[in-house]
Chains A and B, each alone.
Chain A
Amino acid sequence: DVKVTQSSRYLVKRTGEKVFLECVQDMDHENMFWYRQDPGLGLRLIYFSYDVKMKEKGDIPEGYSVSREKKERFSLILESASTNQTSMYLCASRGVPETQYFGPGTRLLVL
């Protein structure tokens, strides 16, 4: 059965903290994604990785970075968290043909 897991379901951080969100997939997929979801704005792509150590900016990469050292793991990093990064963060992986599989999401609150 397809599985995408995210390291935390809920996180509370303070402004200025460095935050790591981790995502792991067990399907040997090459493509992995990070989205954020906000009311009224839908899902917005932050970063995309198409292979180990390969990444591509999405629609809203500012304030975020990513790391993909191993195929199964894709990390989203908030270098210095700000209150406007309070959101639901969704990780997905994609295989062939084209189907994305999503993790359960991490709800991040930045105080």
Chain B
Amino acid sequence: AQSVTQLDSHVSVSEGTPVLLRCNYSSSYSPSLFWYVQHPNKGLQLLLKYTSAATLVKGINGFEAEFKKSETSFHLTKPSAHMSDAAEYFCVVSMYSSASKIIFGSGTRLSIRP
């Protein structure tokens, strides 16, 4: 069975400091993993994806994530937070074979302090 756990419902950092949003997954097969960002009253925008190529994945807006199979983790990081990064972030596990195997995390709200 597949599952995804976002370990923090809310993260607050100061502008210019590093960001770490944590995601752990469980999957019987080799999954594809995604991070999406959602700004208020907007749809979800793809930040980055892992699909069994390089384990360190670079995305848009300076974000990156590392797939660690031994730890079943796919944490999202950014070296220096910007005010515009304030949003909700979703970690997603996917198996292409069926829509029922797309699992969304519960989301992490990122706040940026001036």
Binding site for B on A (CB under 8 A): 4, 31, 33, 42-43, 45, 48, 50, 56, 58, 90, 92, 96-105, 107
The 5 closest A-B pairs by CB, nearest first: A48-B99, A102-B43, A102-B44, A104-B43, A43-B104
Interface size on B, residues (CB 8 A): 22
Task: State whether A42 touches B104 (Cβ < 8 A).
Answer: yes
Residues of B67-106 at the interface with A, using a CB-CB cut-off of 8 Å, are: 90, 92, 94, 96, 99-100, 102, 104-106
- A105/B90 contact (C-beta < 8 A), A42-B105, A58-B99, A99-B34 known: no
- Whole-angstrom CA separation of A96 from B49 in the bound complex: 12
- Tell me if A104 and B42 are in contact (CB < 8 A): yes
Asked if B43 contacts A99 (CB within 8 A), the reply is no
**B32 contacts the other chain (Cβ, under 8 Å)?**
yes
Q: Specify which chain B residues have a CB less than 8 angstroms from the CB of A33 in the assembled complex.
A: 99
Which of B43, B46, B99, B107 is close to A103, meaning CB atoms less than 8 Å apart?
B43
Does any Cβ of A come within 8 Å of B55's Cβ?
A: no
**Per DSSP, are chain A's interface residues mostly helix, strand or loop, or mixed?**
strand
Question: Please, which residue of chain B has its CB at the minimum distance from the CB of A59?
Answer: B100
| Chain A, Cβ-Cβ closest to B107 | A42
Q: Which chain B residues numbered 22 to 49 have a C-beta less than 8 Å away from chain A?
A: 32, 34, 36, 41-46, 49
When C-beta atoms are compared, the residue in chain A nearest to B49 turns out to be A99
A100-B102 contact given A43-B90, A90-B44, A105-B42, CB 8 Å threshold: yes
Residues of chain A with a CB closer than 8 A to B102's CB: 45, 100
The answer to whether B44 touches A45, judged by C-beta atoms less than 8 angstroms apart, is no
